[in-house]
Amino acid sequence: MDQNSHLTPAFPSRLPEVGTTVFTVMSALAAKHQAINLGQGFPDFPCDRELIAEVNAAMLADHNQYPPMAGVAELRHSVAQKISALYGHDYDPETEITITAGGTQGIMTAILSCVSPGDEVVIIEPAYDSYRPSIDLAGGKTIAVSLLAKRDDQSRVYSYAIPWEDLANAIGPKTRLLIINTPHNPTGIVWQASDLLRLAQLVKNTNTLILSDEVYEHMVYDGHVHQSIASHPALAARSFLISSFGKTYHVTGWKVGYVAAPAAMMREFRKVHQFNVFTVNTPMQYGLAKYLKNENHYLSLPSFYQSKRDYFQTGLRATGFKLLPAPATYFQCVNYTDLDIPQSKLSEAEFCTWLTSEIGVAAIPVSAFYAAPVESGVIRFCFAKKEQTLSNALTRLQSL
């Protein structure tokens, strides 16, 4: 104990129920046991050297001081052009796009910019773990509805569906914000155009704003198409769109993303943004602006990641795991309860701890994506790894 700890004044925690995230815990456990880390969602392969060269060139060109608060103009214009080309909505790069320190900062800043004490925010669980703490810090009240989990009696595999009736019942006079996530982490479900139409009807006569977390927008497989909130004009008019260069370009450690929103909403967003980060790494913004101009750098991602998914799925089918559908993201969820081992009766968190320490492969319990853990025997693997990494992990998993 710190000998001066008794001198530290007591103060109430702003997040009394929040501890270390499960991603940090499982990554630390993987390091301790020298396990293959398929838990936390980051690639173990290098990014494109061309992107590194663009950032290096920006540094050598002395782009090393503060950029504009909203982000480098060239990058905001490149983002606007990409959204227009892909989703048909024209955002003004001067007033409607802001570069952020990653997707998570964009999410928190959007929430802080529009949620006041007493406001209700609807989320859909399982949900990314930053949503609730951000709502709590804003003084809002989280209203959670759960994806509809169905288990096929014959295959004993879960699939998930949007809980439309529960969503309708959750939205009321106090609802300030609805957070959606497509493609969805951790389940991989992808919203369809018909879902956006239904959502538009749901919020049509309300004051509900929308935060659309689309950081996996370029990782959609099997002919599916990502339906961005930007593709629906009525929804775009009330939405924050969040995306991430870190996810798209295999540079999660750079923590650079962006938010697009109507000018009135973006004005409030920037009021918060300028005081919680002010701005984002300058040379990386210039490098990304150049790199983003080549659309093949993101249009090639579906085939790139689908080949990894297919390879990983083929190997998993030689195990006792039951594979859930994985039409998007770089995650594969599996059910472990049919494994012919005593550990198949463990909770998801206990099973992941055992899998990491004894089998040498780290995964994430899907129960961790709920406020009150929902046990369905489902865990999440990340397949954004080199083939050799996946091969080594599969060898260990096939021993079960």
Alpha carbon 236 to chain centroid, angstroms: 20
d(CA 28, CA 31): 5
For residue 148 the two structure tokens come to 């509809």
pLDDT of 319:
96
pLDDT of 216:
98
**Does residue 3 surpass a pLDDT of 90?**
no
What length does the chain have? 400
Q: What is the mean pLDDT of the chain?
A: 95
Fold agreement (5-47+301-397, 49-298):
no
Span 9-25, pLDDT tens digits: 878 889 888 887 888 88
Yes or no: say if 230 and 262 are a contact pair by the CB < 8 Å rule.
Answer: no
Yes or no: say if 97 and 79 are a contact pair by the CB < 8 Å rule.
Answer: yes
pLDDT-based confidence at residue 154 (cuts at 50, 70, 90)? low
Ramachandran angles phi, psi of 54, nearest 5°: -65, -40
Closest to 28 (Cα-Cα) out of 353, 384, 254, 373: 353
Provide mean pLDDT across the span 362-370. 95
Q: What percent of the chain has pLDDT over 90?
A: 89
Q: Three-state SS string across the chain, please? A: CCCCHHHCCCCCCCCCCCCCCHHHHHHHHHHHCCCEECCCCCCCCCCCHHHHHHHHHHHHCCCCCCCCCCCCHHHHHHHHHHHHHHHCCCCCCCCCEEEECCHHHHHHHHHHHHCCCCCEEEEEECCCCCHHHHHHHHCCEEEEEECEEEECCCCCCEEEECCHHHHHHHCCCCEEEEEEECCCCCCCCCCCHHHHHHHHHHHCCCCCEEEEECCCCCCECCCCCCCCHHHCHHHHCCEEEEEEHHHHCCCHHHCCEEEECCHHHHHHHHHHHHHHCCCCCHHHHHHHHHHHCCCHHHHCHHHHHHHHHHHHHHHHCCCCCEECCCCECCEEEEECCCCCCHHHHCCHHHHHHHHHHHHCEECEEHHHHCCCCCCCCEEEEECCCCHHHHHHHHHHHCCC
**Does residue 4 surpass a pLDDT of 70?**
no
User: Residue 255: how many CB atoms within 10 A of its CB?
Assistant: 19
23: left (phi over 0), alpha (psi -120 to 50) or beta: alpha
Span 29-86, pLDDT tens digits: 999 999 999 998 899 999 999 999 999 999 999 999 999 999 999 999 999 999 999 9
pLDDT of 148:
87
Provide mean pLDDT across the span 195-219. 97
pLDDT of 40:
87
**Does residue 1 surpass a pLDDT of 60?**
no
* Least confident interval from 25-29, 100-104, 156-160, 212-216: 156-160
pLDDT of 115:
98
For residue 202 the two structure tokens come to 């749901």
Task: Note the pTM of the prediction, 2 decimals.
Answer: 0.95
Report the CATH architecture of 49-298. Answer: 3-Layer(aba) Sandwich (3.40)
pLDDT-based confidence at residue 126 (cuts at 50, 70, 90)? very high
Span 297-356, pLDDT tens digits: 999 999 999 999 999 999 999 999 999 999 999 999 999 999 999 999 999 999 999 999
| Cα→Cα distances 361→37, 305, 365, 380, 382, Å | 6, 20, 13, 11, 11
Yes or no: say if 332 and 316 are a contact pair by the CB < 8 Å rule.
Answer: yes
139: left (phi over 0), alpha (psi -120 to 50) or beta: left
| Cα→Cα distances 206→150, 167, 175, 209, 336, Å | 30, 13, 9, 9, 42
d(CA 244, CA 329): 13
Domain ranges of the chain: 5-47+301-397, 49-298
pLDDT of 2:
53
Provide mean pLDDT across the span 232-258. 97
pLDDT of 155:
61
pLDDT-based confidence at residue 157 (cuts at 50, 70, 90)? low
pLDDT-based confidence at residue 373 (cuts at 50, 70, 90)? confident
**Does residue 272 surpass a pLDDT of 80?**
yes
Provide mean pLDDT across the span 250-274. 98
Specify whether domain 5-47+301-397 bears CATH 3.30.420.40.
Answer: no
pLDDT of 151:
74
Token pair 């590194």: residue: 52
